[in-house]
Structure 1
């Protein structure tokens, strides 16, 4: 008995409600798989977005701190070089 005749034999033995249930179940299997994959992808993107928000909250104060670094470096450099500490003493 080949597969085609096995499927025909199975369908001949089932009543109409059983046939509709079987066909509905066969259509529902790929649909549930696609829905599972879609929901898992959406959840992974939500998790990634939440991590981006946490990173932004972490980097915002560091960005403000970074603005003061050149000023601190200039003050540090001026303390080691006495010629730059007094701007009136420079000759142009």
Structure 2
């Protein structure tokens, strides 16, 4: 994935999250049920985590690009992602 594609993906995810947050604001203003609001907050939290992981994984891949053994790179990335989960 090119740098532009990565950036576009990150921006797309963040804009989607912003839409969800706007929806939560509207739900609070309309005094929706707490359970509905908390469900949406949990979804936003998970989406933010996924964007963070995507950014970390992309950055780590760039940093490790000088390592010649691609299997080593993938193993390190897998370990990092498990650690961050």
Structure (1 or 2) with the larger CA radius of gyration: 1
More helix by share: 1
| Superposed pair shares fold, TM > 0.5 | no
TM-score by length of 2: 0.41
TM-score by length of 1: 0.38
Query: Higher relative contact order by CA 8 Å / sep ≥ 6: 1 or 2?
Result: 2
